[in-house]
Amino acid sequence: MLESSPEAATPHDDAQRVLDRADAVTAPRTLVDVLRATVAAHPDASAIQDADGALSYRELMARVVQVAASLRDAGVGKGDRVGIRMPSGSRDLYITVLGVLAAGAAYVPVDADDPDERAWLVFGEARVAGVVTGTGEYAPRVADAAETADAAALRILPAAAAHASTSALPLVAPPAPEDDAWIIFTSGSTGTPKGVAVSHRSAAAFVDAEARLFLQDEPIGPGDRVLAGLSVAFDASCEEMWLAWRHGACLVPAPRSLVRSGMDLGPWLTTHGVTIVSTVPTLAALWPAESLENVRLLIFGGEACPPELGQRLATDGREVWNTYGPTEATVVACAAPLGGPGPVRIGLPLDGWTLAVVDPEGARVPEGGVGELIIGGVGLARYLDPAKDAEKYAPFPALGWDRAYRSGDLVRFEAEGLVFQGRADDQVKVGGRRIELGEIESALQALDDVQGAAVAVQTTGAGNPVLVGYLVPRDPATFSREDAVQRLRVALPAALVPLIGVVESLPTRTSGKVDRAALPWPLPGAAGDDGADLDAELRPLAEMWSAALGTPVTSADANFFDLGGGSLSAAQLVARIRAIDPEFTVADVYAHPRLGAMQAAIAGRAPRAERSGPRVDVTPTPRRTQWIQTLLGAPLLALQSLRWLALLLTASALLRPLGGFDALPSVPLWLLIPGLLLFATPFGRMAISAVAARLLLRGLQPGDHPRGGRWHLRIWLAEQIAQQIGAVGLAGAPWITYYARALGARIADDVDLHTLPPVTGMLRIGRGASVEPEVDLSGYWIDGDTVRVGAIRIGAGSTVGTRSTLLPGTRIGKGAEIAPGSAVFGRVPAGQRWAGSPAAREG
């Protein structure tokens, strides 16, 4: 039961009914069922694309089936658990995840960069049957040992897969809804990570609930590309994966080094045509606005979202959502759209979830009241530790719930949506990761030469949160802070290794507990010991440090990380340094953390002109491509000839019965009529052009491709076929919208289209829009040695004037107007009129 009994109802219970969506839960199914449905609906759409190219859903399924079969041959069965320790950024990781699920097992991910000690602690706690490593091999785990039987390792990731039908998956035993889908470990207050098991029922309900939430006007589909930038050891990665695989969109993994660089990921989104992003606010804040031009769905989670960021990024044509949810409640429990007036909210529950805001006695608070957030419904997971599970998922008699999760988060109840107020315990979030300070303190206290330790989250002068560990050494004279950090990196994931400060004693309260609020910050002496004035050469770089850190920098020996620097502030520093050194990276900050050394590294680089080298002219089209184009000339000419031949033979068939035309060839009607319909009628020409384009360009993705390469050649050939067959004559005809849809474009009703659609099919036009004659919608352009391909979106009710050019990646907002002869690249906000080349706002 998830509702209080009627006789126990209070006015506050009635007010909080908006937080109960348990009755709207979706039908039970598994993630495997979700994937099968998508494969059946979109078999040829791209499912995943990495540096090695794209896989269609049909091809993805083939590999998933092979991995599942290999795992079952290795002894993995339904209900088992399989560890995954593979690098991020490649298709192999995601194929493995799906293969484990298809084998009926649950996957247990760890970050590939986690220390061995941490990884084997997780695998041991989860009692995995075996582990899949970055080599694509599955090794059974030796019972009660922190190792695998390497001699028995089996390669489960094939180099290629046979073409499989969409019905191939039942060859392996699928899981049931009550079976576990994944087990993800979160930070533990006692020092041991907590394993959280999420069932297929909960996972699929989450996926289906989000499908009802986002982009309802223009649902996610095969034209979308979803960023995969989060570690699979982080539960929000499940949102990334299934935003793509639930809807037939393409998952685009980003290289891990790029994600860590922060700001460099922004331009990568544009280059790879990403349209959907789920991330933490601190990362999105680093990206320039133009990096999100193609993004139409932006989801924030993991940490509080600054109001300014939501307002700035929630533009016309883009939905921005703020989500909230602990791992223990299946990724997301509630969500709210951003961009409107009022505070940043975490919103109302997803379909199938139910929430309550209670006071210390367990009673629901009134509107405007602050209390602890209690979560119930279909999303409840469970702890692997039975004692911990019974403690945290206990019944809640005051609410009449048989099972509830006490989040420990304080929220303000408002009917429009909940507002996050902070934590009620020692759990914190840094960089979107939920952290128990007790786990880090346990690692600090385990250091041999430390007699006391405490951890706190401090805020730099630039507003960035940073974990700080305070150590009281047994012998300050011999204690090495650098040595302590190295030992911590062996025991803790990189995200949990704090900045280390050495203190003589820890401040305590009257209760004897450490008073975290009284711990010193900034750390004494971190800015330098001598306090001498900096010389003129160092001063500009020191000012950049101060801007990123929010603290004075007074010494050439100052260490960026000792001053509170972290990955976020490092990315902010890089953004400033690139004004003087465009090639400076986050890796350079870690390589040269001291001010003087960093300045020397920057000064030691060659001048930019020398680094860039001599000017490189655009290379000619590859000779191989030229030969192929020449050889294709004859068949293309024959294709055009067939059209005229059909017309001539039709004339012959009409003239011969009149007499005197016996010399004309005679063609049987059974051959003449199909030829005439196919080559001479508009619908036949449309069919030939559309079928050729769909076959040639299957698997083409937005982004950059080599000029003269295979995709350039295929686009050229598709356009040549359309030209030779006469499809260009369809422009302005009433059936041009049918031709556009046949190419793969998404054209709404009541669209007035008077120009040719792109052969790529990457076009979306909203209801009631008008595109006048001779508008260039080719969807690609050649930039030196690069062919840039992108989607074009024209919002409902907008107008594009004659002879305008819309470059790849253009997005026209609802009700906007583009003046005739304009050239547009980027985003045109709703309701505005743009004109010129390049186009700019008028009025």
pLDDT digits (tens, 9 = 90+) for 624-647: 777 777 777 667 666 666 666 666
Are the beta carbons of 501 and 532 closer than 8 angstroms?
A: no
Cα separation of 568 and 157, whole Å?
Answer: 35
Helices (H) and strands (E) counted in the chain, each on its own, are 24, 42
Residue 431 has pLDDT above 60, yes or no: no
Q: Which range among 9-13, 105-109, 321-325, 766-770 shows the weakest confidence by mean pLDDT?
A: 9-13
- Strand blocks (E) in 301-446: 319-324, 334-337, 348-349, 353-358, 370-377, 382-383, 405-412, 419-423, 427-430, 433-436
Tell me what the mean pLDDT of segment 753-758 comes to: 90
Residue 734 has pLDDT above 90, yes or no: no
Q: Which residues contact 540 (CB under 8 A, 6 or more apart)?
A: 580
Cα separation of 328 and 214, whole Å?
Answer: 23
Are the beta carbons of 37 and 144 closer than 8 angstroms?
A: no
Q: Which residues contact 728 (CB under 8 A, 6 or more apart)?
A: 722, 756
* Pairing relationship of beta strands 46-50 and 53-56 according to DSSP bridges: antiparallel
Distances (CA, A) of 87 to 1, 397, 430: 43, 45, 22
Specify the DSSP class assigned to residue 33: H
Torsion angle defined by CA atoms of residues 421, 424, 426 and 430, in that order, rounded to the nearest 10 degrees: -20
DSSP per position, 71-110: HHHTT--TT-EEEEE--SSSHHHHHHHHHHHHTT-EEEE-
Strands lying side by side in the sheet with 811-812: 746-747, 763-765, 792-794, 811-812, 827-828
Residue 613 has pLDDT above 60, yes or no: no
Identify the residue with better confidence: 2 or 539: 539
Greatest CA separation for the chain: 119
Q: Quick one: how far is CA 322 from the chain centroid?
A: 15
pLDDT digits (tens, 9 = 90+) for 679-721: 667 777 788 888 988 998 888 878 778 888 888 889 988 888 8
Q: Where would I find the H helices in 158-273?
A: 200-211, 236-245, 256-261, 265-271
Q: What is the pLDDT of residue 512?
A: 53
pLDDT digits (tens, 9 = 90+) for 546-574: 888 777 787 788 888 777 677 667 878 88
Cα separation of 188 and 442, whole Å?
Answer: 10
In CATH, the number for domain 539-608 is: 1.10.1200.10
Q: Cis before residue 522, ω within 30 degrees of 0?
A: yes
Contacts 24+ apart (CB under 8 A), 454-460: 454/506, 454/514, 454/516, 454/519, 455/498, 456/516, 456/519, 456/521, 457/428, 457/430, 458/519, 458/521, 458/522, 458/564, 460/549, 460/550, 460/551, 460/563, 460/564, 460/565, 460/569
Q: What is the pLDDT of residue 698?
A: 86
What are the residue boundaries of the structural domains of the chain, listed by start?
427-518, 539-608, 681-842
Q: Would you place residue 1 in the very low, low, confident or very high pLDDT band (cuts 50, 70, 90)?
A: very low
Q: Look up the pTM and report it.
A: 0.68
Residue 367 has pLDDT above 70, yes or no: yes
pLDDT digits (tens, 9 = 90+) for 178-224: 999 999 998 755 457 889 999 999 999 999 999 999 999 889 998 89
Q: What is the pLDDT of residue 160?
A: 56
Residue 9 has pLDDT above 60, yes or no: no
Task: Say what percent of the chain tops pLDDT 70.
Answer: 81
pLDDT digits (tens, 9 = 90+) for 50-105: 888 889 999 999 999 999 999 998 999 999 999 999 998 889 999 999 999 999 99
Distances (CA, A) of 15 to 298, 337, 414: 30, 21, 9
Residue 611 has pLDDT above 90, yes or no: no
Helix/strand/coil for 812:
strand
Q: Would you place residue 808 in the very low, low, confident or very high pLDDT band (cuts 50, 70, 90)?
A: confident
Are the beta carbons of 255 and 579 closer than 8 angstroms?
A: no
Mean pLDDT of the chain: 82
Helix (H) or strand (E) holding 380: none
Q: What is the pLDDT of residue 750?
A: 87
* Pairing relationship of beta strands 353-358 and 370-377 according to DSSP bridges: antiparallel
Tokens matching residue 298: 């932006």
Q: What is the pLDDT of residue 64?
A: 94
Cα separation of 86 and 134, whole Å?
Answer: 4
Q: What is the pLDDT of residue 531?
A: 45
Other Cβ atoms within 10 Å of 468 Cβ, number: 22
Are the beta carbons of 583 and 575 closer than 8 angstroms?
A: no
Q: Where would I find the H helices in 726-795?
A: 736-743
Taken in order 587, 589, 593, 599, the sign of the CA dihedral is positive
Identify the residue with better confidence: 513 or 111: 111
pLDDT digits (tens, 9 = 90+) for 649-659: 766 766 666 76
**SS3 sequence, 506-539?**
CCECCCCCECHHHCCCCCCCCCCCCCCCCCCCCH
Q: What is the pLDDT of residue 703?
A: 76
- Start-to-end CA span in the chain (Å): 59
Helix/strand/coil for 172:
coil
Q: What is the pLDDT of residue 146?
A: 53
Q: Cis before residue 635, ω within 30 degrees of 0?
A: no
Residue 323 has pLDDT above 80, yes or no: yes
- Strand blocks (E) in 124-186: 130-133, 137-140, 154-155, 180-186
Choosing among 1.25.40.10, 3.40.50.620, 3.30.300.30, 3.30.540.10, the CATH entry for 427-518 is 3.30.300.30
Residue 427 has pLDDT above 80, yes or no: no
Count of residues in the chain:
843
Q: Amino acid identity of 784?
A: G
Q: Which residues contact 677 (CB under 8 A, 6 or more apart)?
A: 683, 684
Angle at 87 between CA 86 and CA 92, to 5 degrees: 70
Which fold is adopted by the domain 681-842?
A: UDP N-Acetylglucosamine Acyltransferase; domain 1 (2.160.10)
Crossing angle for the helix pair 669-679 and 623-655, to the nearest 10 degrees = 130
Identify the residue with better confidence: 534 or 182: 182
Cα separation of 670 and 649, whole Å?
Answer: 13
CA atoms within 13 A on the CB side of 791: 28
Q: Which residues contact 143 (CB under 8 A, 6 or more apart)?
A: none
Residue 745 has pLDDT above 50, yes or no: yes
Cα separation of 812 and 801, whole Å?
Answer: 12
Q: What is the pLDDT of residue 393?
A: 93
Q: What is the pLDDT of residue 99?
A: 95
Residue 434 has pLDDT above 80, yes or no: no
- Residue given tokens 């982080």 in the structure block: 234
Q: What is the pLDDT of residue 28?
A: 97
Do 539-608 and 427-518 have the same topology in CATH?
no
pLDDT digits (tens, 9 = 90+) for 453-505: 888 888 766 666 778 888 888 788 888 877 888 888 777 776 677 878 888 87
Q: Would you place residue 839 in the very low, low, confident or very high pLDDT band (cuts 50, 70, 90)?
A: confident
Q: Would you place residue 6 in the very low, low, confident or very high pLDDT band (cuts 50, 70, 90)?
A: very low
pLDDT digits (tens, 9 = 90+) for 511-530: 456 677 788 877 765 544 44
